[in-house]
Structure 1
Amino acid sequence: MSITDKVKNKAEELTGKAKQSVGQATDNERLIAEGKAQETAAHAKQAGEHVKDAGKDVRDTFS
C-alpha cells in the first residue's frame, strides 16, 4: 500500500468520525449514519490493502 493510499484512507476514516461527532452533537441521525458508513468504507479499504500487501509479501518470499 502506498503512503498516499494510507493517508487517503486515514483521512476518510477521520472524516467519518468527525461526521459522527457532529451528528451526535446536533442530534442528526442522518449525519451519524453517514459518518459510520464512511468510517466503515475506510476500514474496508484499509483491510483490502493489507491483504494485497500480504499477498505481495508471500509472492516475494517464494520468488
Structure 2
Amino acid sequence: MMYITIVLLIIFLLSKLKVISLGPKVEILFLVLIVITVLINILLLFAWPVSTGTGVKEGVLQ
C-alpha cells in the first residue's frame, strides 16, 4: 500500500513540475487518491498490530 502512495506522489510531482501534463481535474483526483492511500496506510499501521496481537514494529515488518 505504501508503494501506491509513493507512485501517486511521484506522478503528481512530475505533473506539477510540468514533466508530464495532467488536467486540473486529474490533479485533484490524484490529490484525493494520495490522501486516501495515506489515511489507509495510517489505519493499517495502527489496526494491523492490534488485530494480530503483536507490537507496532512486528506489525509493520510483517
Cα RMSD of the aligned pairs, angstroms, is: 2.3
Q: Does the CA contact (< 8 Å) of 1:14 and 1:39 recur in 2?
A: no
Deviation at 1:6, TM superposition (A): 3.1
> TM-score, normalization: structure 1?
0.51
- Return the alpha-carbon distance in structure 2 between the equivalents of residues 54 and 7 of structure 1: 14
Hey, which bits of structure 1, 4+ residues long, moved more than 3 A?
Answer: 14-20
Residue equivalent to 1:52: 40
Aligned length: 48
The runs of 5 or more residues in structure 2 that have no matched partner are 54-62
Structure whose residues are more often helix by fraction: 1
Normalised TM-score (structure 2): 0.52
User: Match for 1:53: what amino acid?
Assistant: N
1:52 and 1:45, CA in 2 relative to 1: closer, same or farther beyond 3 A? same
Q: What residue is the counterpart of 1:37 in the other structure?
A: 25
